[in-house]
Structure 1
Amino acid sequence: MTTSSKFLSKPVNNFYILAVSSISLSVIGLVMVFSASSIHSLDTKGNAVAIVLRQFIFFALSIPLAIYLSQRSLAQWRILARFGLLISVLILAILQIPGVGKTVNGNTNWIALPFVDVQPSEIAKFLLILWASYLLANQERAGKTRVNVFAMITPGFMVVLALIMVGHDLGTACVMAAILGGLLFVSGVELRLLGSMVAVGAVILAGLIATAGYRAARFLVVFDPFAADQYKNAGWQPAHSLLGLASGGIFGVGLGGSRQKWGNLAEAHTDFIFAVIGEELGLLGTLVVLALLAALIFSIFKISLRCKDPMSRYVGSGIGCWIAVQTVLNVGSATSVLPVVGVTLPFVSYGGSALISLYLGLGYVFGSALRDPEVKNELHKAIERRRLRTPRKLFLQVVEPLAILSQLWQLREHGARTIRRIRFNS
């Protein structure tokens, strides 16, 4: 067995990978949000740090929230899961009340509060995963193997998808549909039925694109965003995203040195932050971010596979699909492989609702890992070793300098005696 295989074979290491990758991505996100948003922030808010300061506050709130949620029992999670669909429908329906929903870039998916804008659809992603996982786990626990899980959870997702599309948010709808597909796949739905669902979804997506001129334009510019008739219209953002990635080379132009963020990329700190990373940190920077995201997704699925509780297994799978699909959509948009659909890069892009929702999900996954006896024992051992080692370290930190000073003093005294002896003899 190789060293990497031995490392990954220990369940506790998946816990460590999840913790390190999520924090690392968030810290990289703070740095890149500051770099990508400073010009826009100075222009719109009169302060270069206003946007990144908000993101830092959201990050500072997310960490203790995830820790708190990781300590909640499965019984407490099941209570919330029962009402996940109802809460999702209510918070999305509120957006349709005149004067409540705020429209940004054509999408009515925000609620403007006095100090911050909230995006209910981000919270709905996690709540819907909880709700569907609760139903799937109940039928598995009851041994009802012949239950039609497709008919059990799909109608709820369809209601939420309809509410999201009323607000014209195609990107979030695509993520929700992918989460549904992932949960159905994990639940063991026949591939034939799943394939039929994907085909129907593709037809619906094609209809949504064809019936909206701006969506059709975004789809067509994928083939050539630099086309003369598209470059200054729908092709502007994907074209300048590609220019940023290309100009970054292997090592980038340097942190803060992006040219595309100076008005060419209107969403430089949100939807197109990957392009700014590529321009400033180069191919190396983008690969680091993608590697961290891959490690995070991998650890989530590994933790989920070890869960004995079926609900935890489904929730982890849903969260893994959520992050994976959103990453593919964001990176695909930035590289002009996919149409621009307006989704953020998980943990990296600016967005308080998105960041807090992601850490809500991680709080559940961390809790799933901590309920694993092997992980719990290994963590207790590590804490105990550190507790025993810390006094020794403190002792050495105090004693070693004193010992060195004592030796230096002895050398000084020895030198002084030698000099006196030489003078006396002379």
Structure 2
Amino acid sequence: METVILAVVIAVVVIGALGGLVIGSRRRKPLPPAPPTTPDITAPPAEPHVGDEAEIPHDEERRTIEEVDLPGGSAAPVVVEEPEPVVEAPAIEIPEPTAGRLVRLRARLSRSQNALGKGLLTLLSREHLDEDTWEEIEDTLLTADVGVQPTQELVERLRERVKVLGTRTPDELRTLLREELLQLLVPEFDRTVKTDSNLDTPGIVMVVGVNGTGKTTTTGKLARVLVADGKHVVLGAADTFRAAAADQLQTWGERVGARTVRGPEGGDPASIAFDAVKEGIEEGADVVLIDTAGRLHTKTGLMDELGKVKRVVEKHAPLDEVLLVLDATTGQNGLVQARVFAEVVDITGIVLTKLDGTAKGGIVIAVQRELGVPVKLVGLGEGADDLAPFEPEAFVDALIGE
């Protein structure tokens, strides 16, 4: 029995020893070597340990933020301010000479007006001039806005001269009609636009009229005519009620080198007119043109204000010219306008615009008879140089054909 127990103990000891050897051998087995590593350039640098010396001394001079380059080594971009664009002044135009302009305008007037003359010549050439024919002649003249009284006078003289003449050849009738029409136009009128002052001041011209007659445009065109004649012109933009009227006048002036005196929109027209004349005197200008606001002839307050403009301007010097602008296409209504304006300011001359756009050229005769003042200028188109002095002979020749 003891022998059996002893054998069991020995077996347990042997098994235990063998197990220890196996476990020991497993613990001593070396680990596989670590794979080689490359430094991580993106990793932040390791913090220095306590007691390590810093690689950069703390007392080294520090750089400012302006001295530090941005990533990639590029410097901060330099902003270069571009110079403001230079606004060039508009080129100064040289208006067409008066002589060449008149030749062209005569032809245009002839094309638009000769219906009246041809109609009269046709009627006068009839073999028998009975009462019906003379009534047709009267109707033709009235339709052309010659006016009642001038028409009656013309017909009476024509009847007398035809009776004395007897036979009537076309050339004789043309000569007869030309002489009578010319007489109605009062050729002895002085049609010169007064722009020369008798004093040591510029000539002062005020332009008046109702809305829509082309008053501001006429003022600009007149400035062109005067500049072409070598005059130093100053423009007064006293039309402060119509939107952009001052801008329109200034544009006309800039095209020929004439300066425009203007004020705020809705300002006092008399004050602006006063300043324009004052500055014209200081500059030594030859002519001051004053464009007034268009006024309805039925508005008493506005017409009174026009009289105020005239009085204020005359504190510097008397007006040399007051031009009334009428639209030739309005016919007899233009005569009503003319009467009212003549009561407020002393009209010295008439400008008929749009004369090329109407067959009612007789308004020239009627308005002169109504006011007793001459038609001095006529507008024969929308072009910049389509304003011309009125010449009675050229006008009649255009009516009846040369």
TM-score for the superposition, normalised by structure 1:
0.22
* Higher relative helix content: 1
* Higher relative strand content: 2
